[in-house]
Amino acid sequence: MKILIVDDDVHACEILEAYLHDVGYSETTIVTNPDEAYSLLNQGGKPFDCILLDIVMPEKNGIELCRDIRTLESYKNTPIIMITAMTDKKFIDLSFRAGAFDYITKPFELLEVSARMRVAQRSISERKAAMDSYLALRLESSKSNDISGFPMVSVDRSIDVMSMNVESQNMVSLRSFESYLEKLTRSEGNNVQVAQIQISNIDALYSEKTAEEFLDVLSIFIGVLREVFELQDMFVSHIGMGTFIFSMVNTDVPDPDVMTSQISSLLAERVGEAHLDITIGEPIQMYVGSPPNFDRLIKVAKARIKAKKGNPGLMAMAS
Query: In this structure, are residues 288 and 185 in contact, taking their beta carbons and an 8 Å threshold?
Result: yes
Residue 47's Cβ-count burial label (10 Å; 0-12, 13-18, 19+) is: middle
* R_g over Cα of the chain: 20
CATH code at position 38: 3.40.50.2300
Look at residues 219, 265, 268 and name the one whose alpha carbon lies nearest to residue 244: 219
Residue 227 domain-assigned (yes or no): yes
Q: Indicate if 262 and 186 belong to the same structural domain.
A: yes
Q: Indicate if 203 and 288 belong to the same structural domain.
A: yes
Q: How many angstroms separate the first and last alpha carbons of the chain?
A: 41
Q: Indicate if 175 and 310 belong to the same structural domain.
A: yes
Task: Please count the structural domains in the chain.
Answer: 2
Residue 278 domain-assigned (yes or no): yes
Instruction: Identify the pLDDT of residue 53.
Output: 97
Domain that holds residue 285: 163-314
pTM: 0.82
Instruction: Identify the pLDDT of residue 196.
Output: 94
Q: Indicate if 184 and 106 belong to the same structural domain.
A: no
pLDDT along the chain (319 residues), means of 10: 95 93 94 96 92 94 96 91 90 92 88 91 79 60 49 58 61 88 83 91 82 82 86 82 88 83 91 85 87 91 90 49
Residue 140 domain-assigned (yes or no): no
End of a domain among 103, 118, 133? 118
Between the CA atoms of 37, 39, 43 and 48, what dihedral angle is there, to the nearest 10 degrees? 20
Residue 136 domain-assigned (yes or no): no
List strand residue ranges (DSSP E) for 120-249, in order: 192-199, 236-240, 243-249
Query: In this structure, are residues 248 and 192 in contact, taking their beta carbons and an 8 Å threshold?
Result: yes
- Kindly report the backbone phi and psi dihedral angles of residue 187, in degrees, each rounded to the nearest multiple of 5, phi listed first: -95, 130
End of a domain among 97, 118, 139? 118
- Kindly report the backbone phi and psi dihedral angles of residue 117, in degrees, each rounded to the nearest multiple of 5, phi listed first: -70, -35
CATH code at position 303: 3.30.70.270
Instruction: Identify the pLDDT of residue 149.
Output: 44
Residues 6+ positions from 106 with CB-CB distance below 8 Å: 12, 83, 84, 85
Q: Indicate if 181 and 258 belong to the same structural domain.
A: yes
Residues 6+ positions from 104 with CB-CB distance below 8 Å: 81, 82, 83, 84, 112, 113, 116
Query: In this structure, are residues 189 and 92 in contact, taking their beta carbons and an 8 Å threshold?
Result: no
Position 189: which residue type?
G
